[in-house]
Amino acid sequence: MPRSKNADIKTIERRTARKNDFALLVFSVLLGAVSGGVIWVYLRAVGTMTKLLWIVWPDHIHFFWYPLVVCLLGGLLMGLIHRGYPQYPEDMETVMTKINRDRHYEYHPMLVMLLAAFIPLIIGASVGPEAGLTGAVAGLCYWVGDNISFAKGRREAYAKMGAVVALGMIFHAPLFGLFSVDENAAEERTSENVLPGTFNLLTYGLALSAGMGVYAVVSSYWGDAFGSLPSFGRVNLSVRDYPMVVVYTLAGTLLYVLYDLADKLIAAFLNFIPILLKELVGGLVLGVCMIYMPMLTFSGESRMNDLIVDYPLYTPAFLAATCLLKVVLTSFCVRSGLRGGNIFAIIFGSTCLGSAIAMQVFGADAASHVAFAAAIVNAAALGGLLKKPIPAALVLLLCFPPKVLFWTVLAAGFGSFAGRKMEKTV
């Protein structure tokens, strides 16, 4: 009899576990779908307001200093926000660190979080939406965990799930979202508040599929809320390209080193400027760039298509200078309070630098070498920035064909190694 009773108890426990697992999968799909809808609405709002500020209204307001006024007003608003909430918007690394380390991400007040991420994007700051949206979606998922009884105890897993959906959708690269967020699987398995490894991956995948499905359906009716990076199309490899891998990898790594150095110098300079004045300085610099060097503004995603087509119109020196100014402006925007993500900006700058090197080395025959050069420079620079070679290589599949994946993984590995070494020496 005792054996029979124990067997019955184990059977009931297995059935209960299956029911809980099924309910969790369904909830993950619902959460992913809601996150996808929220992300589409937010990005559509950014696109609509950007169009009004920089296309519609300038057609009716013929004023040379209009960009400067808009950027200064944006800086003023960010300064006022930072007087009460200096931390927003937080970068992607900070968000994930808080989720992993603190097992919590503060989501009060959500409106301020969204507004702080919204303003820099619409005034043309050289930043992308991935930082602010990752924090906002993670905060939304923690709110769900705090307020829905079924979700309590799994808040960290849901926050990571939201981050996977956000990154996968912003970059139109599902694997980038998965590999960027789920990097501490061994640590996660020791926690009672998160899902086990394999099941974890399944729930992430379902949430991401649901989110991207909702995003695709809504976009089919009302248009894409945020354009993806354009593709170089075919990459033609020849014997002369392989020795250049070393040059491109070193160039991309050096670009990250220069970006990191510029970031530290700019941070040291701007730390002496008080809040509000610092944001106004950021708005002033951005406004001047908007008037005289518009190619440097915005995240770089919208400029990539023009760059891929029109790069032969520029000299290698001009493209290299554009690359350096782009990464410096990105750092200046972030450090002056006009914060956001830096991945799109690094991709744009790396593409400029790779094109410049290929044009300089191959001359009139550069057209068949530019794409490969841009891919390797991008991989090394992103490897240094993300400190993770696989996500760095995966996000580039958006712009380059899979045939370069082996080379981009190698370059990203070297850049990641260099980036980690730099971190340890600080």
Q: How much is the pTM?
A: 0.87
**CA distance readout (Å), 179 to 148, 388, 390, 392:** 28, 9, 7, 10
pLDDT at 45 over 60: yes
Q: What is the mean pLDDT of residues 293-318?
A: 86
Which letter, b or e, does each residue of 218-248 get, where b requires 16 or more Cβ atoms within 10 Å of its Cβ?
beeeeebbbeebbebeebeeeeebeebbeeb
| Least confident window among 68-77, 188-197, 272-281, 300-309 | 188-197
In which band, very low, low, confident or very high, does the pLDDT at 5 lie, cut at 50, 70 and 90? low
In which band, very low, low, confident or very high, does the pLDDT at 10 lie, cut at 50, 70 and 90? low
Contact residues for 21 (Cβ-Cβ < 8 A; gap 6+): 199
Q: What is the per-residue pLDDT for 151?
A: 59
Q: What is the per-residue pLDDT for 1?
A: 45
In which band, very low, low, confident or very high, does the pLDDT at 4 lie, cut at 50, 70 and 90? low
Q: What is the per-residue pLDDT for 188?
A: 44
pLDDT at 301 over 80: no
pLDDT digits (tens, 9 = 90+) for 69-99: 999 999 999 999 999 988 888 887 787 777 7
In which band, very low, low, confident or very high, does the pLDDT at 193 lie, cut at 50, 70 and 90? very low
Kind plus residue range of the DSSP H or E element containing 333: helix 316-335
Which tokens sit at 107?
Answer: 């989501």
pLDDT digits (tens, 9 = 90+) for 211-245: 888 888 888 888 776 666 667 767 778 888 889 99
Q: What is the per-residue pLDDT for 409?
A: 93
pLDDT at 184 over 50: no
In which band, very low, low, confident or very high, does the pLDDT at 191 lie, cut at 50, 70 and 90? very low
Q: What is the per-residue pLDDT for 227?
A: 61
- Work out the mean pLDDT of the chain and round it to a whole number: 83
Q: What is the per-residue pLDDT for 33?
A: 87
